[in-house]
Each structure stands twice: as C-alpha cells, then as structure tokens.
Structure 1
Amino acid sequence: MMIIKTVAVIFTGLSGGIAVGIGFVAFLTVLGVIPRLTQLTKTGEYIHSYEWAVVISVVLASFADLNNYSIPVGAAILIPIGFASGIFIGMLAAALTEVLNVLPILSKRIGMEGMLISLLMALVMGKLVGSLFQWLIFVNY
C-alpha cells in the first residue's frame, strides 16, 4: 500500500510540474512577453537582463517552495496577496486559453473533435476535485 501511495505522489508531482512548466514556457515564448515588454518600455538593450531576471526569480521561487521557506507576515498582508495572486493566475489561464485556442487544438490532437464539451467538463471537474482535495484533505496533514 505504501508503494502505491509513493508512486501516486511521484506521478502527481511530476504531472503538476510538467503542467506548470509547459504553461510558463508557453506564456513566455508563444505570447512573447519579454520582447513585448522591452518594446513597450523602449528598453530593448536590456532584454538579456529581463530574461535573466525571469530565470533567476523562477529558480529562487522554486527553491523557496521546495524547502518550505516562508516569510512570517500576518493575515492582513496575506489575504490581499492571495486574492491578487488568484486573480492573476485565473486571468493568465484564461488569456492563454483564449489566445492559443488550446481546447480545440487539444481535442483534435487526442481524437475528441466532437466531444469538446466533454473535454471541457473533464478539465473543470479535475480542477474542482484537485482543489477540494488540497483544501479539505491535504490541509489536515
């Protein structure tokens, strides 16, 4: 039974990491965030600095997350930060889905062309079950 739990945790961790990594790479490359940022701010000569800032911040944030590093602040600070982070992640996911036309492409690739609604409901239910698992079960450990 312990082996099954270990394999499930490894599979879930790798799947989550791959999904987040793919989303981040898609955000940076397909949408061209960094070149667009340098274009808007007219700071094209600093493009390598922008790229390194993104890489270093992702590595440091990953390191802090994996080592359970936290900054002790009160709820008055955490609530607005959590609210803003949730809005950002939701809007980012919606923007990527809208701009990249992800769901129709995904349904074609996996052979579910006529079942786009079923695919969408599976994604929604997966998100719902994952959120409930995190907040109702995993928080108690």
Structure 2
Amino acid sequence: MIQEILLNVLQIFIGFSGGVAVGAGFVAFIAVLGIIPRLIQLSKTEKYIKVYGAAVIIGLFIGAYFSFAPISTSQPILALILWGLFHGIFNGMLAAALTEVLNVFPILTRRIGMESYVLLFMMALMLGKVFGSLFQWIYFVPR
C-alpha cells in the first residue's frame, strides 16, 4: 500500500518535472528567437499583443488537456477540414517566422540562385503545411 502511494507520488513528480522542463524549453524557444514579436511586427497588429499572449497560454493549456484526456469526438468532414486548415496555417506561420528570424530563406535562395522565386517557395511551404495537416486530420484522426 505504502509502495503504491510512493510510486504514484514519484510518477507525479517525474511527470510534473518533465512538463516544467518542456514548457521552459518552449518558452525559451519562443522568447529567445522572438518569433511571436516578429509575427506581431510583420502583421502590424501591435495593439493585440495581450490577445496574442492569452491565445498562446490558452492554446497550450487546451493542447495539453486534449493530449492527455481520453476524449474522442466524431466531427463532420467539414469541421476536420477547417481544423486542419487552422493547424496548417499555424504551422506554416510558425515555420515562416522561425526561418525569417534565422534568415534561412535568404541564405538558401542566394546559394541555389533562386532569389526571384522566394514568394513561390514560401507559398509552396505554406500550402504543403496546410495540405499535410488536412491529410493528417482527414486520414489519421479516427471518427
């Protein structure tokens, strides 16, 4: 009996410590690279900075809850397409912000001689993320 309680307390401690470590890494990733401030600057929506912060925090809590809760919902195909579209837009914007902060695309396009095709390259990346997310949600999410 005591061993079970100690084992459960140890598991709770390890799980909480792992969550704190991953959360701290995520915050450091977002803060050090300045992805969200750069996204705000590019979209010229500085007046909504509190909304961005709240959206990140609420999104993290909801994502963590849905990751661990045994919830299964059966949604119509249109809802899954919309959900996949939102995932694709988020992933695409995050990838674009990260690569812009790190100057990956300018360096890459100069090295392979495609300076005039940067817009097409970015659109291909964004559409690939959107369609990849749609495919994942339509094909792999059980209904």
TM-score, with length taken from structure 1: 0.44
Larger Rg: 2
TM-score, with length taken from structure 2: 0.43
Task: Flag the structure with more relative contact order, 1 or 2, with Cα contacts below 8 A and sequence separation at least 6.
Answer: 2
